[in-house]
Amino acid sequence: AQGCNTYFQWMYNIRDWCISRQLWWGHRIPAWHCGTCGKVTVARQDPERCGHCGSAAITQDPDVLDTWFSSGLWPFSTLGWPDETTDLRLFYPTSLLNTGYDILFFWVARMIMLGLEFTGEVPFRQVYIHAIVRDSKAQKMSKTRGNTVDPLEMADKYGTDALRFSLVVGAAPGTDVIFSEERVAGYQAFANKIWNAARFVFLSLEKAGAEPWAPKDPQNFRPYASQDMLEAPLEDRWIFSRLNSVAEQADRAIEQFRYHEVAHLLYHFIWHEFCDWYLEWKKLRFREGSGLTPAWRNLLAAFERTLRLLHPLMPFLTEELWQRLTVNAEGRPRSIALASYPQYDVHLADLPAERQVALLQSIITAARNLRAEMKLDQRQLDGALYSRAAAAEIARRNEEVIRRLANVKLEVIEGAAPPDGSGSHARTTTPEFDLVLRAPGAEVEARRQKLAKEKTQLEKARDSSHRQLENQEFLSKAPPAVVESIRQKLTRYDAQIAKLGQTLDGM
């Protein structure tokens, strides 16, 4: 909307402007000055005489039209215009122009004017206004400021895909990209995460003695026919349902030119769902040694679909991995760029599977967090899960997954009340369940004493900050920044004390 307003402000309020430039290149201004009468002749063809007095003493103006007159011809001059070429017939007008908001009038308006004048058609119907890249201090990059960044150096250092992804993530509509080398380095780690995931996929296929690709149509491959979907392992039903949802959201965001949303969506899905959960679950499945064929086929299909989703944002990485992954697939496109972008498929939607996995994730995460907060030994612990009937049934069916991923052997207890928190228990409570870990009493007691001491120290610091903020003489003399800093400390102290209190209550 902002770009539209700017464009139409120019169109409705247009005035004469200087179109001449003193440059060595460009279209010469078609104006000839008469040395006899002093008047100017403007002509389509080079004149031999003055159009006013007939004198032959005429000279062409030395200036050229500004660069944007030349650039404004770009949509059709590159296609062979003024000749009626095949390219001109096929590709003009085009559909979309990608440009910056600072040249809306200089270039966009000029292309529309010249397109209408010379071809009778506007050159494009949509204009995507991308962000401008600024330095880490939000200043516009320029040679005079010396704050420019060489993208080739960044690409060599961190990889082209990481650089590209970092720019897309920051390119929200209506905002500029604040360039940060640290952010590029962070997305290099994301690319490495995908490489490591691919390594696991290829090693799994190798160990299973499987062909790199079994289905004949990789683009439309589904793990099971729709009527057999409920028979698929829970982790496969879940990942394909999540992939389905991500594909739907990504497709909608792309149609709305909200590419930063696609980047955030895929980053979270690949790192925190596909790698952190699905691959870890698959490792357990491969260790079991049973049902390997559906296990590797589903892993393969999920990874291939993920690569196609990510391809527009990380083209080089995804092309390389996709070529290796689909090397023996019959009838595959020559490039992932020619493969279809994943679309929503109603047969893959499985909300019950998503809810079940969400519950398992919360149980495993709660156990991990409780162990970390209590600094309990990393050896396997025993514990108990107290929950309602539905949650208890899901936990029972997946006891081995919980045991392996949380390193906790849980006894699932339906409906009973949890223990009162004696010295050998560490406990956490959520709306769905109560989780109790059993640990050696001496270990828990030592940790309890340490946390109690830490809580006492924080309470003393909090009380000191309170006294400062209640001291009117201090408030009248202290700089506002100092007072605000103390208020922020007080907020942090309160949050830390509350968290420690909850932990101690669970011991």
State both tokens at 123. 């050159």
Identity at 136, one-letter amino acid code: S
Residues forming beta bridges with residue 425, ordered by sequence position? 438
CB atoms inside a 10 Å sphere around CB 254: 14
CATH number of the structural domain spanning residue 371: 3.30.2320
Asked whether residue 203 falls in the same domain as residue 315, the answer is yes
Q: Please indicate, yes or no, whether residues 248 and 389 belong to a single structural domain of this protein.
A: no
Print the domain residue range for 75: 2-28+63-130
Residues with Cβ within 8 Å of 278's Cβ and at least 6 positions away in sequence, in order, are 235, 238, 239, 302
pLDDT in tens, 263-309: 999 999 999 999 999 999 999 888 876 656 777 888 888 999 999 99
Regarding whether 221 and 317 lie in a shared domain, the answer is yes
pLDDT tens figures, 188-207: 999 999 999 999 998 887 77
Mark which of 424, 439, 454 sits at the end of a domain.
439
Of the listed ranges 109-123, 307-321, 472-486, the one predicted with least confidence: 472-486
Residues 38-45, mean pLDDT to the nearest whole number: 94
User: Whole-angstrom Cα distance, residue 183 to residue 23?
Assistant: 40
Q: What pLDDT does 297 receive?
A: 81
Q: 55-71: per-residue pLDDT in tens?
A: 999 999 999 999 888 89
**Phi, psi (deg, nearest 5) at residue 175:** -130, 155
Query: Which residues have C-beta within 8 Å of that of residue 50, sequence separation ≥ 6?
Result: 32, 34, 36, 37, 39, 41, 56, 57, 58
Q: Say whether both 428 and 452 belong to one domain.
A: no
Query: What's the pLDDT tens digit per position in 166-178?
Result: 999 988 877 888 8
Q: What is the average per-residue pLDDT within 330-348?
A: 89
Structure confidence at residue 445 as a pLDDT band (50, 70, 90): low
When divided into structural domains, the chain yields a total of 4
Any domain includes 153? no
What pLDDT is recorded for position 100? 83
Q: Is the preceding peptide bond at 212 cis, omega within 30 degrees of 0?
A: no
Give the CA distances from residue 323 to residues 46, 304, 335, 471, in Å, rounded to whole numbers and listed in that order: 58, 10, 7, 69
3-state secondary structure of 444: helix
Residue at which a domain ends, from 439, 472, 494: 439
Q: Nearest CA to 303 among 162, 188, 195?
A: 195
160-169 vs 151-158: helix crossing angle, rounded to 10:
110
Same domain assignment for residues 89 and 6:
yes
Residue 217's region, left for phi above 0, alpha for psi from -120 to 50, else beta, is beta
Domain final residue pick, 130, 148, 181: 130
Spatial separation of the C-alpha atoms in residues 184 and 483, rounded to whole Å: 36
